[in-house]
Amino acid sequence: MDIDSIKPVILWTDILIWLLVISLSTFLFTLRKNPESRAQWRQVFSSRLGMVTFIVIMSYIVLALIDSLHFRKVLPPTAGQDANTVYYSNTVNSVLDVLLGEMSERKERSYSAPFSLKSFTKENMNDAEGVLYRGYPDLHHAGSHLTDKTQHKSDLLLQSLIGIAKGLIAGLLLCLPFRLASKQSELPLFTGVVTVLIVCAILGWMIHVGNLYHVLGTDRAGNDTLYDSIKGIRTGVLIGTLSTLIMMPIAIILGICSGYFKGWVDDGVQYIYITLSSIPGILLIAAAILQFQVFINLNPGFFEVGLEKADARFLGLCFILGITSWAGLCRLLRAETLKISQLPYVQAAHAFGVSHIRIIRQHILPNVMHIILITFVLDFSGLVLAEAVLSYIGVGVDSTMPSWGNMINLARSELSQEPVVWWNLLGAFFFMFTLVLAANLFSDLVSEAFNPKNRQER
């Protein structure tokens, strides 16, 4: 694709996810200076389960990053158009769309089952003699490369092997750094290499076969379900990370200040989070999202394309989820700070006249960091599931934005049909289940490594 034929589109969520990656890279670089933290993270990655879950989570993050590089294509010139005037399409694409090939453009008329060559519903058709009958018409795109439809199964097997081979080749190239470092590291890098190869083989198979067949079928509008499921990765990763990062500063500042200063500060913080906890979260989120949607509808001039409106609503959802999720962590940090502030070395620092800010930075915050890390990983998976629940009741992300919650919401009526349309729910469930399971297993390992009681026992 010629770079002169596209116009970059920068969304607010694109900026935030790249800032998140830069912050994470900076954190990992500074981690090398702390021997204790380095030893704790080494314990996490020294297990095979930690290596596998980390690579799975990083695979989701990489796909989300690739899907966060947006652009608009140049429209072909029309008759009478000025040569110096360029018009761009209202459709916003991403680099992930380029890697997925023509998967997004292979639309059918309606439902089709996975790997099928015919439509899922009957339509009125005419035979060679012009007689009207009811039947299952052929799909426009699935298997269009076949000259003989009877070769469907053998071609599917052949194309699957080709797709897996492409994925393995890409995986081997990615694993070269692991191979070079395997002789000098005690980490289970062989397990990491095998995991990378499996992930690349699955992705290679999905992309290659998905451009020839509908691997997970199509939905009511004829859109490819596999494409929608992969595009939902960005939404799932972003809503988990951004909401957690919005919640963390509020919980950390209020929780530590409440437990350290006590008195009226403690009373004020407790009043705030008790009041917030007494309001049903779903009602508060729904009211905030609806008010934000009214603002978007009344100010259409702020947004150049439709995706920017969906992105603005998505940011509002992340913000309100973060605002309503900090109370639990705040309670934990308050209780832990109350205990740490009474320890002898903290009292000695007070006696020597050390400032409050320095005591909090050097004595309080490092001793509650394990709670913050464990809560971050646990809340990430919880917020991914929350997006699905909110979309199910109609107050989640915009319907035009690919997300697993929107797919599950659309699958409600499909499960009551006869025969049942099950593949749309399966696509969202598979990708969501894999991410949430990997995050939960990884959080267990982080909890075990950073918990002070476990360190004392070891």
SS3 121: coil
What is the arithmetic mean of pLDDT over 49-57?
A: 90
pLDDT tens by residue, 239-264: 888 888 888 888 888 888 888 888 88
Reported as a pLDDT band with limits 50, 70 and 90, residue 12 is confident
| DSSP 8-state secondary structure symbol assigned to residue 363 | I
CB 249 within 8 A of CB 255: no
Reported as a pLDDT band with limits 50, 70 and 90, residue 453 is low
Kindly tell me if the per-residue pLDDT of 35 is higher than 70: yes
Task: List the alpha helices (DSSP H) in 324-403.
Answer: 327-340, 344-351, 356-359, 365-392
CA dihedral 374, 379, 385, 391 (to 10 degrees): -170
Instruction: Provide the b/e sequence for 111-144 (b: ≥16 CB within 10 Å).
Output: bbbbbbbbbbeeeeeeeeeeeeeeeeeebebbbe
Reported as a pLDDT band with limits 50, 70 and 90, residue 162 is very high
Residue 340's pLDDT is 85
pLDDT tens by residue, 358-388: 888 888 887 887 788 778 777 777 777 777 7
Return the half-sphere exposure (C-beta side, CA atoms, 13 A cut-off) of residue 244.
22
Most confident listed range (78-82, 102-106, 266-270): 266-270
* Average pLDDT taken over every residue of the chain: 81
CB 266 within 8 A of CB 334: yes
What is the arithmetic mean of pLDDT over 15-27?
A: 78
Rounded to two decimals, what is the model's pTM?
0.85
Structural domains in the chain, sorted by start: 234-457 (1.10.3720.10)
| Integer Cα distance of 385 and 405 in angstroms | 8
| Integer Cα distance of 154 and 388 in angstroms | 38
Reported as a pLDDT band with limits 50, 70 and 90, residue 180 is low
DSSP count for the chain of H helices, then E strands:
18, 5
Please name the amino acid found at residue 50.
G
With the C-alpha atoms ordered 378, 248, 281, 395, is the resulting torsion angle positive or negative?
Answer: negative
- Angle, vertex CA 178, rays to CA 174 and CA 182, nearest 5: 165
Cβ burial, residue 283 (10 Å; 0-12/13-18/19+): exposed
The DSSP line for 1-16 is --GGGEEEE--HHHHH
- Angle, vertex CA 102, rays to CA 99 and CA 105, nearest 5: 130
48-53 long-range contacts, CB within 8 A, separation 24+: 48/188, 48/191, 49/441, 49/445, 50/442, 50/445, 51/187, 51/188, 51/189, 51/191, 51/192, 51/195, 52/191, 52/192, 52/195, 52/438, 53/438, 53/439, 53/441, 53/442, 53/445
The DSSP line for 390-448 is HHHTT-SS-TTS--HHHHHHHHHHHTTSSS---HHHHHHHHHHHHHHHHHHHHHHHHHH
Q: Which has more confidence, 88 or 263? A: 263
- Angle, vertex CA 311, rays to CA 26 and CA 431, nearest 5: 70
Q: Which has more confidence, 60 or 387? A: 60
Kindly tell me if the per-residue pLDDT of 77 is higher than 60: yes
| Integer Cα distance of 439 and 381 in angstroms | 6
